[in-house]
Amino acid sequence: MAPSRQAKSSKTVLRVLTGLVACACLLAGLPSAKAQAPAKQPPAAPQATPQTAPQAAPQAVPGFWDPRRRPERPDLSRLTVIRFLTETDYPPFNYTGADGNPAGFNVDLARALCEEIKVTCTVQMRRFETLVDALSSNRGDAIIASMAVSPQLRVRVDFTDPYYRVPARFASRKDAVMPEIRPEYLEGKKVGVIAGSAHEAYLKAMFTDAELHPYPNDDAMRAALRKGEVDFIFGDAISLAFWINGTDSGDCCAFSGGPFVESRFFGEGIGIAVRKGNDVLRQALNWALFRVWEKGRYTDLWLRYFSVSPF
């Protein structure tokens, strides 16, 4: 079985323009990962607030680690090299740099982890669908390729703690931005969504009074918003962030409301995969991830690659 990637339908857009917390982990500025789930008894709906500038909020860096759950430093003496496997073409997370070497958010994070653990680090690029087999046959030690944690993959590999998540968000035209979105705010509103997606399932379950307009792909859904055929669209926030900040949007649109991260619909998050039973490496990577975040290096990487925050 080929591994699945979070929000697979947005992969094409991410390739052109440049894919986080366990349920108990905290998002920066949010009391819990479920804090932005629709409330049952919200106050009266606010009026749409015009917005004339893009929503560039680089300060909105999500926190995927709980400082109260500091991992203990494991025994790192048995680690001398970590052979990371990543994907060939999934910008801005993985791609071939101008010098021909692996580059991207995942690659830079892998190198930061190796520096923290103080071991030699190699990064090999492979097609995404071959990564798990390559790991299982000992052609690498860890996969860092925006791989979504899932029950199906847990049968074959072990995962570190999530190092990011792909939230869902609403986007609207700039003259109709809403600072907060709750179910009754969208009563009778036209909302575009990808047909058959987890985002559509979420809207059907939580936003029952909205008028859903399913589309076959991201391009069609976003074109409908640009033309004013729908009031909002709802989808993968990372993909939407690059679209909003890119030329394809025509500077038409911005995020409305905050992120939605309900794991039942949007997954457990993105983790680093290791071979089953390799607890030495998994624990070392968990410790190093926390240290990289604690020192501010994760934040620096996030700001470098995400000029419009998905959160």
DSSP the chain: -PPPBTTGGGHHHHHHH-----TTS--TT-SSTTTTSPPSS--PPPPPB---S----TT-----S-TTSPPPPP--TT-SEEEEEEESSBTTTBEE-TTSSEESHHHHHHHHHHHHHT-EEEEEEE-GGGHHHHHHTTS-SEEEEEEEP-HHHHTTEEE-S-SB---EEEEEEGGGB-S---GGGGTT-EEEEETTSHHHHHHHHH-TTSEEEEESSHHHHHHHHHTTSSSEEEEEHHHHHHHHHSGGGTT-EEEEEEEE--HHHH-S-EEEEEETT-HHHHHHHHHHHHHHHHTTHHHHHHHHH-SS---
- What is the mean pLDDT of the segment spanning 22-42? 35
pLDDT at 295 over 80: yes
pTM for this predicted structure: 0.76
> What's the pLDDT band for 2 if we cut at 50, 70, 90?
low
Tens digits of residue pLDDT in 260-285:
999 899 988 999 999 999 999 999 99
Which domains, ranges and CATH numbers included, belong to the chain? Answer: 81-165+269-305 (3.40.190.10), 168-260 (3.40.190.10)
Q: Which residue has the higher pLDDT, 46 or 82?
A: 82
